Structure 1
Amino acid sequence: MRAPTGNATALPPQQTGIEARTAPKPSAPGRPASDWWIWAMAGALFFAYMALSLRIHERLLSRSFDLGIFAQVVRSYASGHLPVSEVKGPDFPVLGDHFSPVLALLAPLYWLWPSVKVLLVAQAALVAGSVLPLAFWARRTLGTAAAAVIGACYGLSWGIASGVSSDFHEWAFALPLLTLSLTALGSGRLRAAAYWALPLLLVKEDLGLTVAVIGLVIAWRGGRGGRGPGLLTAAAGLVGTGLALLVLGSFHPGGFKGYLVSHNPGGGAGAGPGGALVGEAQGGALELLHQLTLGLITPQEKVTTLVLILAPTLFLALRSPLVLVAVPSILWRLASNYPPHWGTGYHYSLLVMPIVFVAFVDALHRRGASGRSLYRYLAGSAAMALLLLPHFPLWQLTQPETWVKDPRIATAHSVMDRIPDDATVQASSYLVPHLADRTSVSLYGWGDSRPNPEWIVVDTQVRPALRWPMSVVHEQIALDQARARGYRTVDLRDGFVLLSRTG
């Protein structure tokens, strides 16, 4: 077979190289006329995500790490200066933690609605928006039924549910970019794939590795015509990550080394891939070797997470080279020594969901699945999504306790309303996000909090499973010590304690 000539971007990836011999013929191009239901599906998911995250916040279950931090970041951008977070430390420069300038895009929304809730609504919109390119591409290549099932299974997948229920994170911006880039790559629009991938460099520093892999897949699948844009994209990803780390090093109070060995809440080393590996290296070469070999699959929780990542696609995602784009996001988690990175909680699987579902569509298209065989795959994927749904946070929307009004919430807001705007405050973790819009708030009991705040507000009745960073005993000792230093009790209701050192 002759090598492709001319503009290779006009050819679908299945028609390049050896794969052209067995690849199915792509569907006719063009946008379907009756696509309103795809928009309706994305809209329904948007309202579900928004309802879940807002209800979690309203029930005082959103946290200082990370919603409080990101609220302070966006508030900083809206005020016209580089982002700082009092939760991380006094005037802590957040660009010293993670390079996420994309968050500045939320500043105009914050001007219109200066509330932490704008972050949650924006996240719901970004995640729901990522359904659109996936469903449209599935419809073009596999048909309407496939688009409906795959779009719904992706939107209801456990990784998405865990992400939208875990406060707010900058990764939300990556989801529509990833689906736009990978669906373009899957349909042979190589330059579009590269253009959509490059903005990922502004989302977070480690996504440069993801961009690099996208570039390599472009070069691989695009034949001779894809090598140029592919290799340039890969180089941009590597250079972008290197520059981002250097930027982080210049902003971090401890310098570049301080960033690499920074610690997560709870004592885990490594806020990202660099920190994880350097933290292990400090423990010795043998520990590092173990972490990069057997440590990638032990403890068993890591294997369970890998299985659950691929299960919604019936493991067919492994048949598409597009799944390689998930390798950097998965590898640094498995190499980390911070246990929450290994499991299915929090937001750590948010990035891989669009990758495996786009790979699922690509695998079905490459196999030429149609008729009964396609419907069997769709039925299996739907069954897996429904099986997992009750075990993850979206199911909370069906539970009565999610919608019950707790009188303590009104009490909490009544107590916090006594704190004046722009005051310096230390607060319990679950109260911080409710004060981040109008005060300079830090975390009570956190070692890097701003000392001697004007106000202290503590919820002494937090459930033991949610209590962090102080135990009940240490919290009571700290409150007694504050009173001994001159703080007076201003309010004491329903377990909420408000102290002040102001006259």
Structure 2
Amino acid sequence: MTTLPPGPSAARKFSALPAAARSGAGAQEARANALALSLAGFCFCLYTVLSVSRHRLMLTTGYDLGIFEQAVRSYAHGRLPVSELKGHDYPLLGDHFSPITATLAPFYRLWPSPYTLLVAQAFLLALAVVPLTRWARRAMGTVGAVVIGMGFGLSWGIAQTVGFDFHEVCFAVPLIAFSVEALGNERWRAAAAWSLPLLLVKEDLGLTVAAVGLYIALRGRRRLGIVTAVVGVTGTALTMLVVIPAFNPDGVFAYFDKVSDGSGTSASSLLAQYTLGLVTPWVKQLTLLMLLAPTAFLALRSPLTFIALPTLAWRFASANEAYWGTKFHYSAVLMPVVFGAFVDALQRIRRRTVSDGPPDTVRGTLVASALFTVLTLPLHPFAQLAEASTYTPGARVAVATRLLEMIPDGATVSASNRFVPQLTRRCTVVVLGMPQNQEAPDWVVADTVEPQGWPIGRDQEVTEIARFREKGYEVVANEDGVVLLRRA
């Protein structure tokens, strides 16, 4: 297979090839693009079906789909993002710095619905399949490209993201995938350019930009790399220390307390915390194992794994146990790095073994990767697609839908967490039981049988209903444990 050399001189070398060679290379490129788009299209359909089905089943929540819908809704009406779920007119730029979500505002104006966010997330995550598959197709052929493309597209990190509401990291995943692919092919300017928009996705991703810059500098493009790294570090510092506190009602970056500052800790304890403590307890080791296992641990042979270190470092240094494991959306930004490193490592092996006959190591590793992808499918949210209940909302969902439709547009509502995103497009909603709960909403709706369980459980939901009834709220409906109250 003809493979064009990477780098800025590729176009000149391509034009110097004979016409027949250029035609063959062009056909190879067209086939690589077609395969990449096909796999991405399949993943987009998969993600969309799962996300939409979960929302129809009322499995999405106010924290976080409701918060992001309130943000995009603000942008769509020409305002800076606020969320009643976080507090009265709470400025979300004072919580996390994610102005890139404003790009969804035009689509939300056309289709004001949480489905807009869910479909957009499906598209962005599927888009990341394209550069990884295309790169793998050039490096290893069709079979290798399918294994890499589907391995990434069906990976547990992406599955957990699709299976848990909407999050701004869906913008970061394709940006990182394109940047890593450019790094692997020594297109340094393209790699830097793809990484810079990460500064608009979330405040911590400036450290990933810095890692991209350091990688470029270490590979020889010192000036470009250093500038990129400085921009990344500066961007993170400015957003955490200046921009977010400027918007925050308390004038601080509220998440510094997630990482211990070491005050009141002995030097030996602090040393242990930031050495052995970065890989203990065992859940951190499990996360590392799950990250590397899809590549049969071959990703460790690529220096591209360096790009994952900033994200792993802040997660494992955090005191918040939710950051350590494999749940939720926290590992989504790591998946394109790991699979990009996988392609890079396989490419390096092929270059060394091409003169010695078929690269058995490459074939064996691809088989191991494909097996891991298949065997772990039942363990994460994509397994829900094989369940009939995913496509058939039950009687309680029908009851809840009917009762929620009784709430008029524009009303203020205090609702159970799982009911919130069903209302955010047309009402001002807060989560029942949260400290910033409105004291006198127009309506209250609660699930007293099967609540989502956060921030309050079933008993607390019942207590909240009793509290509002004591304040004079009247019961409009009480069916299958779904209770709807109206302020008298």
TM-score, length-normalised on structure 1? Answer: 0.88
The equivalent of 2:238 in structure 1 is 243
- Secondary structure of the residue aligned to 2:203 is coil
Aligned 8 A contact 1:86 1:449 in 2: no
Residue 252 of structure 1 aligns with an amino acid whose one-letter code is N
Q: Retained in 2: the 8 A contact 1:86–1:450? A: no
| Shift, 1:9, TM fit | 5.0
Structure 1 unaligned runs (5+)? 1-7, 13-27, 263-269
Letter in 2 for 1:237: G
| 2:384 aligned partner | 396
Cα distance, 1:354 vs structure 2: 0.4
Question: For 2:438 and 2:227, how far apart are their aligned partners in 1?
Answer: 45
Secondary structure in 2 matching 1:10: coil
Say whether the 8 Å CA contact 1:276–1:332 is kept in structure 2: no
Residue of structure 2 in register with 1:299 after alignment: 281
* Separation in structure 1 between the aligned mates of residue 266 and residue 170 of structure 2, nearest angstrom: 36
Q: Is the partner of 2:408 in helix, strand or coil? A: coil
- Give the 5 Å matches for 1:431-470: 431-462=419-450, 466-470=452-456
**Aligned partners of 2:217 and 2:226 also within 8 Å:** yes
Deviation at 1:86, TM superposition (A): 0.8
CA contact 1:320–1:359 (8 Å) conserved in 2: yes
1:349: Cα distance to partner? 0.9
Q: 1:205 matched to which residue of 2? A: 203
- 2:223 match: 228
The match for 1:5 is none
**RMSD of equivalent CA atoms:** 1.8
**Corresponding letter in the other structure for 1:227:** R
Tell me how far apart the structure 2 counterparts of residues 119 and 478 of structure 1 sit (CA, whole Å): 31
Aligned-residue offset at 1:339: 1.6
Among all aligned residue pairs of Structure 1 and Structure 2, give the percentage whose two residues are the same amino acid: 48
Q: CA deviation at 1:367?
A: 2.1
Partner of 1:71: 69
Q: CA deviation at 1:11?
A: 6.6
Q: How far apart, CA to CA, are the structure 1 residues paired with 2:59 and 2:263?
A: 35
Match in the other structure for 2:3? none
Taking structure 1 as reference, are residues 251 and 492 closer, same or farther at Cα in structure 2, changes over 3 Å only? same
5+ residue gaps, structure 2: 1-5, 11-23
Match of 2:29 in 1: 32
Per-residue CA deviations over 1:202-222 (Å, capped at 9, x if unaligned) read 01000000000000001112x
Q: Relative to structure 2, which stretch is displaced further, 309-318 or 337-346?
A: 337-346
What's the CA shift for 1:356? 0.3
For the pair 1:254 / 2:240, whether they are aligned, the reply is no
Aligned to 1:482: 468
3-state DSSP class of the match of 1:430?
A: helix
Residue of structure 1 equivalent to 2:97: 99
Please state whether the residue corresponding to 1:390 is helix, strand or coil. Answer: helix
Quick check: 2:448–2:459 contact (8 Å CA) kept in 1? no
Q: Is the 8 A contact 1:277 1:288 kept in 2?
A: no
Aligned residue among 41, 44, 64 for 1:43? 41
Note closer, same or farther for the CA distance 1:283–1:99 as it changes in structure 2 (3 Å cut).
farther
Q: Distance in 1 between matches of 2:208 and 2:36?
A: 28
Asked whether the equivalents of residues 214 and 226 of structure 2 are also in contact (C-alpha less than 8 Å), the reply is: yes
Displacement after TM superposition at 1:37 (Å)? 2.9
* Cα distance per residue 1:339-358 (max 9 Å; x no partner): 22111111111110000000
User: C-alpha separation between the residues in 2 aligned to 1:473 and 1:146?
Assistant: 53
In the alignment of these two chains, the number of paired residues is 460
Distance 2:179 2:481 in 1: 50
Instruction: State how 1:346-385 maps to structure 2 within 5 Å.
Output: 346-368=328-350, 371=358, 372-385=360-373
So what's the TM-score if we normalise by structure 2?
0.91
Q: Cα offset for 1:288? A: 4.9
CA distance in 2 between partners of 1:107 and 1:283 (Å): 46
